[in-house]
Amino acid sequence: MDATILTLLIAGIIVVVGLVAGLAVGTRRRTLGKARRTDELDAGTDSTASGAGTSVVEADEAAADAGGTATLEPEVAEGEVVTEQAVPPAEPVPTIEKPEAPESRLVRLRRRLSGSNNALSRGLLTLLSRDKIDEDTWEEFEDTLLTSDLGVKPTMELVEALRARLRVEGISDPSKARGALREELIKLVDPSLNRTLGTTRSQTPAVVMVVGVNGTGKTTTVGKLARVLVAEDKDVMLGAVDTFRAAAADQLETWGSRVGVPTIRGAEGADPASVAFEAVKAGIEAEADVVLVDTAGRLHTKTGLMDELGKVKRVIERQAPVTEVLLVLDATTGQNGMTQARIFAEVVDITGVVLTKLDGSAKGGIVIQVQRELGVPVKLVGLGEGVDDLAPFDAEQFVDALLSTD
């Protein structure tokens, strides 16, 4: 019995000693593990700064691969206020402008060309304000027409037709000659010419090339024409083919962005024909209605550059026909503008003319002269600096504006 009790006591002592030893080993392991993690954190911080060793991120990834979690939270100093990083505000969506309808633009045509605002208008009104029509009146009238860029032949035609009509109708009172003058002027401007723009899509987008020398407002005209077409609910694409001036492409892109029209452009100095090709290709893929191609401002004295313009047209026509070639002329340049017009017409088949700056500084007669010289109509006129100051040309509205005293 005593032996049995002694045996049980010895066994109990052994069990207690084992438990105490186990607790001591566990505590030591936890202490060593904590120290090891602290050392790894310090090592990770040092290696991140020096670029050597295993970083904290790598240790974190290793722990994750092993099925554990080792996400380290940033330490915050006592008393420090933690704020969330502000999310940058989204860029504002650009406002798409709604262009003015073409019909309402014609209202400004009368105001810009009427009365004393235009040299030709002043001359016509001088004739109508005389007490009587005599030889001196006809000579003065003829001189006025010649100095308004009407041209010699159209001037002679108008004077002779008007003199004959007033003689037959027995009109000697200038105030009664207004109706006859209006009708003869309209005949001279020729309302029978087709002034419709070739912007109707067929199998492919309509392609409108815009040509002209520097300084005539060509790129601006392309931008304003895009607004005219957008106002007609057409899907438009712009081609910035003037690769010699980065500013021209930037300017065109700005015009397009204001009305939601994309611009295809190339690198500065790129082959213009290549950019034109890509612009028309993009228009075909996007099923656009019209592609407007803004060419470089060709100097009419540079034969090589003029030949390149012809190349641009040929390259475009590999994909789609060019439905319109518009020549932009500054209405204030007079005979110099006519020289430009003739040379451009020799390189590409001009289908229409855009006269810019046809306001108070213009003489007005160039409308008739350029049509006679080129055999193509004036289709659009620029009336000022406003974004919607480009209007379809109408023969009767033009004449009525010239004879208006408003």
Residue 57 labelled as part of a binding site: no
- CA 113 to chain centroid: 28
Residue 11 labelled as part of a binding site: no
Distance in angstroms (rounded) separating the CA atoms of residues 118 and 125: 11
Residue 118 labelled as part of a binding site: no
Residue 201 labelled as part of a binding site: no
Residue 358 labelled as part of a binding site: yes
Inter-helix orientation angle 152-168/366-374, to 10°: 110
CB atoms within 10 A of CB 34: 10
- CA 172 to chain centroid: 54
Residue 294 labelled as part of a binding site: yes
Distance in angstroms (rounded) separating the CA atoms of residues 285 and 302: 35
Q: Which residues contact 338 (CB under 8 A, 6 or more apart)?
A: 366, 369, 370, 373
DSSP states of 128-192: HTSSS--HHHHHHHHHHHHHTT--HHHHHHHHHHHHHHHHHTT---GGG-HHHHHHHHHHHH-TT
Residue 215 labelled as part of a binding site: yes
Q: What is the sign, positive or negative, of the torsion defined by CA atoms of 49, 53, 58, 59? A: negative
Residue 356 labelled as part of a binding site: yes
- CA 54 to chain centroid: 54
Residue 170 labelled as part of a binding site: no
**Type and span of the H or E element at 193:** none
Residue 198 labelled as part of a binding site: no
Residue 222 labelled as part of a binding site: no
**Tokens (6 digits) for 76:** 């915050």
Residue 295 labelled as part of a binding site: yes
Distance in angstroms (rounded) separating the CA atoms of residues 210 and 293: 6
What are the b/e assignments for 330-343, b being 16+ CB within 10 Å? Answer: bbbbbeebbebbeb
Greatest CA span in the chain, whole angstroms? 165
Residue 95 labelled as part of a binding site: no
Q: State how beta strands 390-392 and 378-382 pair.
A: antiparallel
Residue 194 labelled as part of a binding site: no
Residue 164 labelled as part of a binding site: no
Distance in angstroms (rounded) separating the CA atoms of residues 290 and 218: 18
- Could you list the residues known to form a binding site for GTP, using ranges: 212-219, 294-298, 356-359
Annotated binding-site residues read: 212-219, 294-298, 356-359
